[in-house]
Structure 1
Amino acid sequence: MTKWVYTFGDGAAEGAAEMKALLGGKGANLAEMSNLGIPVPPGFTITTEVCTAFYANERAYPAELASQVDDALALMSRITGKNFGDEADPLLVSVRSGARASMPGMMDTVLNLGLNDVTVEALAKVAGDERFAYDSYRRFIQMYSNVVLDLEHHDFEEILEDYKEHNGYVLDTDLTADDWKAVIVSYKALVERAMGKPFPQDPRQQLWGSIGAVFGSWMNARAVTYRRLHDIPASWGTAVNVQAMVFGNMGETSATGVAFSRNPSTGEKALYGEFLVNAQGEDVVAGIRTPQNLTEAARIQAESDKPSLETVMPAAYAEFVAICERLEKHYRDMQDVEFTVERGKLWMLQCRIGKRTTKAALKMAVDMVAEGLITSTEAIGRIDPAGLDQLLHPTIDPKAERKQFAHGLPASPGAACGEIVFTSEEAEAATQAGRKVVLVRVETSPEDIHGMHASEGILTTRGGMTSHAAVVARGMGKPCVSGAGAIRIDYAAGTMTAEGVTLKRGDKITIDGSAGQVLIGAVPMSRPELSGDFAKLMGWADDVRRMKVRANAETPADAKVARSFGAEGIGLCRTEHMFFDEGRIVAVREMILADTEAERREALAKLLPMQRKDFVDLFEIMHGLPVTIRLLDPPLHEFLPKTEAEIAEVSAAMGVPAAKLKDRAEALHEFNPMLGHRGVRLAISFPEIYEMQVRAIFEAAIQAAKETGEHVVPEIMVPLVGIKAELDFVKTRIDAVAKEVADKTGVTLDYHVGTMIELPRAAITADKIAETAEFFSFGTNDLTQTTFGLSRDDASKFLNYYLKGGILEHDPFVTIDKEGVGSMIELAAERGRKTRPNIKLGICGEHGGDPASVKFCETVGLDYVSCSPFRVPIARLAAAQAALEHKK
């Protein structure tokens, strides 16, 4: 018989930490803590395999599941001395999700399950606190009705708020047991009206309803979005954890809280978290009550007048600190834990590897190597390469004037500027329209995941450092200010007000997630220096990676940034970007609109010194490192004048009537320019264009070599080659120009000629093309377009449907499509090497900065990847991780 249920508690467990795929992260770690003898309320885990079977069999359960759940409940009863549904001393349980990858807040939870009109009276007697019992019951009705019966949470909140207002109450804690009884009557009436039947009183019906709801939440919209954003397969499924309830709301000797064993924002080795006395777990993260600091040091730093856990419950605090230290040493990583103190007794409800900012991850990794917890190789694997982008996020310029609107908690570091939006839908729409926004909410919920992802930063008026907004923002690397309580939001009017100042939807604000400040207007930003922990870890990464990392750059500014980030050369210099410069566009247009070769050469002669200066700058900045220069690629019509003023300017420069220029421009227009007269096809038609460019390259190489003392070996790349004869045609002219320059200067030139593989035909005939080409650079953007038959510019209109529908697992313009485009790259690499064993191979599309694509490049054995300057650190770390994985 298949085992579907695994028990834990009383110092023993049927599972263990390494069973995360079967038990989910929460279940595996509860089992591990139980085995370690850490105080964990007993319970059981229904495996992820049940989730798979649930969806494969029209939401039906395996036949043996019910009896295994009954056996597990019986064990819980023996351990706790309480019976499920007992009318004298009932066992109450929580029902929680638990996927193998942490998905905070994305799926559903039910607490206090087992309460009904009879067991609530028994709970009141056992606890000796009638108010506590009925407060717990109303919480259960509200949560169960929302999660299982699919009733709106706010409908219950409105009943409660109306009751408080009618009776003159301000806080929930003002209500008495009789008040809660009255609210419960209204809650149950709401359920009966909506469902056509009473609120379920049978604890077993409640349990199975909750189990089904948790499995069902695996496919809810927010969970699906979160998995898509974090690349979590839907096939993994979630486990369900049923656990005995312990109560942090049983008076002043009870408490509940959330903590991290190290600071998840900075990485500092210090306990970090919040708690509330006489509260349940959801109270801490909801932000309705202001949480208290765990440690006295944190309380003093926060200038809080509320006592710390260290002061209020010293014995429980001391035990908690010892457990956190033990868990961190056991797991060898920072822990995110939830705990409850029930009448002085500490219980651990969860532990997991904690989410953190990249800055914190770097510090922790480097510190843990120094502490002997992990090796430098393990430290490399601890950092998400894509997360390094967080370190490149701008911070507010220290010299900038700050006009403060409000102040909150520094929930996630970095700074962000954008227009105010008040809903996630607004955020998503604005971002799709190309506008940057800051999402402003009273508090965020898991349903806001898409809006948070679309926003530059998040601002909430409620919530602490462990609120939903704070935790999710840190995981996403988004700046966040939470708990800015002085701000009053009017969703209907689209305004927010603080200190007598009102800002409206669309106004620009800047948030400083490191200082907790909300500033009026767009404040100047600056980028941080990457040194210290970053430099140390990147040094370890550079020691183990095999592939080189270059940058795509054609301006001195980009080249300098690339070098500062550790680029080992330029993998793609797009010369057409130089042509658009204001000082030379007229000469470019003269060249394009010329009627004869002589006129074209005359215009090109004007461009030669400009191009030469461009290349000198790049060669000098790269100081002998390889520089791959792509000759002119786009169709000529892209450079043509469009406005009347531009046409008049070219007309005057050329002495040609404006009408004639318009006719010439119309003749050059192309219906499908991506597949038209561009790349090597221009050289076939107008070889003088490429001749000018390579002359500028060779002359610049000679000049830069004199200036730097370094041997400069340019790599000249011919774009869009699909036929070997095309490359032969161009190579002959490149060699001829090289000889001319060498004869004129007396300097022997070293250079390499290669091509960009961006057409399927080029990949298929790579063995032939390699007879001439000394290197291949895979233009993965265009190779994706031509392999799929997709226009990158137009595909955004419909690709999202493919991703949401599971037709495509990844956007092929973000991550290389291994099956199709990847096969083309593998084929070209294999055939190219067969002809020329030492051929140099790299990629220069933006895939070069995507960690998954870099990993693929390692498996193919490419020599380098090239990406935009600000993604160079990402590629360096990803290349190191790929090399380590490939060695296993």
Structure 2
Amino acid sequence: PGAACGRIVFTAKEAEEWASRNEKVLLVRKDTSPEDIGGMVVSQGILTSTGGMTSHAAVVARGMGTPCVAGAKGVSVQGKKVVIGENTYKEGDWITIDGSTGDVYDGQVPLVTPKISKDMETFLGWCDEVRETSVRGNVKGFAIRTNADQPEDAKRAFDFGAQGVGLCRTEHMFFEKEKLIHFRAMIVSDTEEERKEALKKILPLQKKDFFGIFKAMEGRPVTIRLLDPPLHEFVPHTKEEVAELAAQIGLKPKDLQPKIDKLHESNPMLGHRGCRLAVTYPEIYDMQVEAIVLAAVDCVKKGIPVEPEIMIPIVCNEQELALLRPSAEAVIARVLEKAKVKLNIKIGTMIEVPRAALVANKIAQYADFFSFGTNDLTQMTFAFSRDDAAAFLPAYLGKEVLSTDPFKSVDEEGVGMLMDWATTKGRSVKPELKVGICGEQGGDPATIDFCYRTGLNYVSCSPFRVPLARLAGAQAVLRNQKK
């Protein structure tokens, strides 16, 4: 949400170059991917011709508080020009976007900075009291967490009233240049020893990231999702990047390229990602868990309260957790014993695959908590690609095939039924099982009401949606009070 004005650039690299000259830029692309994060951070706003509410551009922009219009049907990116409606624009031209309405304006439109009164914070404090004193069976309270990938995101959300981090995505951390070169070296390594050597260089950098987030949240729970995307998203794409990586690992570019090509997947969102990476390359998750625990130990030694939670993604059966949980516990025990520190670190999983929801009672045996990843759970349940659904969803909504965009509000009859089933089955095994939601729908008022009715402990949303979620959560409590 919000409006932004800037000069058009078409690549993340150009955005960073222009921003370094103090130019206000607006990144215009067909779509974005994790490797564009540097350019997205420095852009005033983002405009894409494909995608939707839960596409990469929308999710990342929402988390940063950057205005974004994703999946604009009237926009066609054609090389170094973009056609918007009947007008054609080139690099450097000024445009203005309104992320709240999806409108795109020619030139520079004057912008106004919003102000929030002290009365608003008082009012939201009353909302917090309503939520915190609510009771649903064994579930006491209804918390609002945030999705935050960087310390500054966590601090901003904390200032907005977030009660913890419900999702910290670790993949964006790897796209910082000092980490990326080593991570790429790990990906193309031939042996476990080579992979471990590359990961050793990343570990202290990951530890620094986690420490910053723990410190910002001042003892509130922080749920860190271990690496989720497929490895091909991290490989070099340009000749210059291939040459740089080849020099780093002592190969000729022509010998490196086949290694990169082998990582290509026909359907990467259903491919070698999430916990599947840890089954084949356990050293990746071992490094991340060690970095998390080391950061937590540093907090304890500096008198900073800390409550880390480790989340394993894209699980589809209990055997995956039965294999991976002991590995994580072994790393945790080793680091804590060496540091002479005691910490209770929970290990849970995302429920984002329909099968995982159906067998939640089995998965709960190995999980301390569930978090519904409703972005993936929605696209897997509907067989709608969240990056391409904008091509047909407007027709579905206009012709009333669907009453609501399922990527905006949880589909209670389908996806919601899976969530309800998983919550009930999970708690049949562990009555005190903590359950939350970390998909983008977690900031939607209708979804928040559903989550309260379903018995979830918390919802998690992007930092700038936290105030609205605090209000919507209180409304859900009052709306569903027993008469």
Output the CA distance in 1 between the equivalents of 2:106 and 2:345.
54
- CA shift, 1:507, in A, is 4.7
Alignment deviations for residues 497-546 of structure 1 (CA, whole Å, 9 cap, x no partner): xxxxxxxx975122357xxxxxxxxxxxx564x34221121112111124
Q: Residue 564 and residue 806 in structure 1: after superposition, are their counterparts in 2 closer, same or farther (change >3 A)? A: same
Output the CA distance in 2 between the equivalents of 1:784 and 1:664.
33
- CA shift, 1:639, in A, is 0.2
Q: RMSD of the alignment, in Å?
A: 3.0
Q: How does 1:155-304 map to 2 (within 5 A)?
A: none
Q: Residue 867 and residue 431 in structure 1: after superposition, are their counterparts in 2 closer, same or farther (change >3 A)? A: farther
**What TM-score, normalized to structure 2?**
0.78
Q: Does 1:856 align with 2:455?
A: no
Partner of 1:509: helix, strand, or coil? coil
Partner of 2:110: helix, strand, or coil? strand
Q: Which residue of 1 is the match for residue 41 of structure 2?
A: none
Output the CA distance in 2 between the equivalents of 1:666 and 1:511.
47
Q: Residue 863 and residue 435 in structure 1: after superposition, are their counterparts in 2 closer, same or farther (change >3 A)? A: farther
Q: Residue 851 and residue 430 in structure 1: after superposition, are their counterparts in 2 closer, same or farther (change >3 A)? A: same
- CA shift, 1:478, in A, is 10
Out of 500, 507, 510, the residue aligned to residue 109 of structure 2 is 510
**What TM-score, normalized to structure 1?**
0.43
Q: Which residue of 2 is the match for residue 870 of structure 1?
A: 464
Q: Which residue of 2 is the match for residue 844 of structure 1?
A: 438
Q: Does 1:692 align with 2:287?
A: yes
Partner of 2:227: helix, strand, or coil? coil
Q: Structure 2: which amino acid aligns with 1:456?
A: D
Alignment deviations for residues 667-712 of structure 1 (CA, whole Å, 9 cap, x no partner): 11100001000000000000000000000000000111233432x2
Residue segments in structure 2 that go unaligned for 5+ positions in a row: 6-43, 48-70, 86-95, 132-140
Q: Which residue of 1 is the match for residue 399 of structure 2?
A: 805
Partner of 1:841: helix, strand, or coil? strand
Q: Which residue of 2 is the match for residue 633 of structure 1?
A: 228
Output the CA distance in 2 between the equivalents of 1:851 and 1:606.
43
Q: Does 1:736 align with 2:306?
A: no
Alignment deviations for residues 341-380 of structure 1 (CA, whole Å, 9 cap, x no partner): xxxxxxxxxxxxxxxxxxxxxxxxxxxxxxxxxxxxxxxx
Q: Structure 2: which amino acid aligns with 1:704?
A: C
Q: Which residue of 2 is the match for residue 588 of structure 1?
A: 183
Q: Residue 743 and residue 436 in structure 1: after superposition, are their counterparts in 2 closer, same or farther (change >3 A)? A: farther
Q: How does 1:347-746 map to 2 (within 5 A)?
A: 430=74, 456=98, 507-512=106-111, 528=115, 530-545=116-131, 546-710=141-305, 712-746=306-340
Contact 1:417 1:508 (8 Å CA) reproduced: no
Output the CA distance in 2 between the equivalents of 1:786 and 1:761.
10
Q: Structure 2: which amino acid aligns with 1:697?
A: I
Output the CA distance in 2 between the equivalents of 1:884 and 1:432.
46
Residue segments in structure 1 that go unaligned for 5+ positions in a row: 1-388, 396-415, 420-426, 439-453, 458-475, 480-504, 514-525
Partner of 2:109: helix, strand, or coil? strand
Output the CA distance in 1 between the equivalents of 2:209 and 2:249.
25
Q: Structure 1: which amino acid aligns with 2:423?
A: A
Q: Structure 2: which amino acid aligns with 1:629?
A: I
- CA shift, 1:435, in A, is 8.6
Q: Residue 478 and residue 580 in structure 1: after superposition, are their counterparts in 2 closer, same or farther (change >3 A)? A: closer
Q: Structure 1: which amino acid aligns with 2:198?
A: A
Output the CA distance in 1 between the equivalents of 2:476 and 2:267.
38
4+ runs of 1 displaced by more than 4 Å? Answer: 392-395, 416-419, 427-438, 476-479
Give the share of equivalent positions with the same residue, in percent.
Answer: 50
Partner of 1:812: helix, strand, or coil? coil
- CA shift, 1:844, in A, is 0.2
- CA shift, 1:729, in A, is 0.9
- CA shift, 1:799, in A, is 1.4
Output the CA distance in 1 between the equivalents of 2:441 and 2:219.
25
Q: Structure 1: which amino acid aligns with 2:363?
A: I
Alignment deviations for residues 707-758 of structure 1 (CA, whole Å, 9 cap, x no partner): 3432x22110000111111011110101110121122111123100000000
Output the CA distance in 2 between the equivalents of 1:726 and 1:549.
29
Output the CA distance in 1 between the equivalents of 2:105 and 2:384.
35
Q: Residue 393 and residue 527 in structure 1: after superposition, are their counterparts in 2 closer, same or farther (change >3 A)? A: farther
Q: Structure 2: which amino acid aligns with 1:749?
A: L
Q: Residue 627 and residue 478 in structure 1: after superposition, are their counterparts in 2 closer, same or farther (change >3 A)? A: same
Partner of 1:670: helix, strand, or coil? coil
Larger Rg: 1
Q: Residue 801 and residue 622 in structure 1: after superposition, are their counterparts in 2 closer, same or farther (change >3 A)? A: same
Q: Structure 1: which amino acid aligns with 2:261?
A: E
Output the CA distance in 2 between the equivalents of 1:867 and 1:831.
25
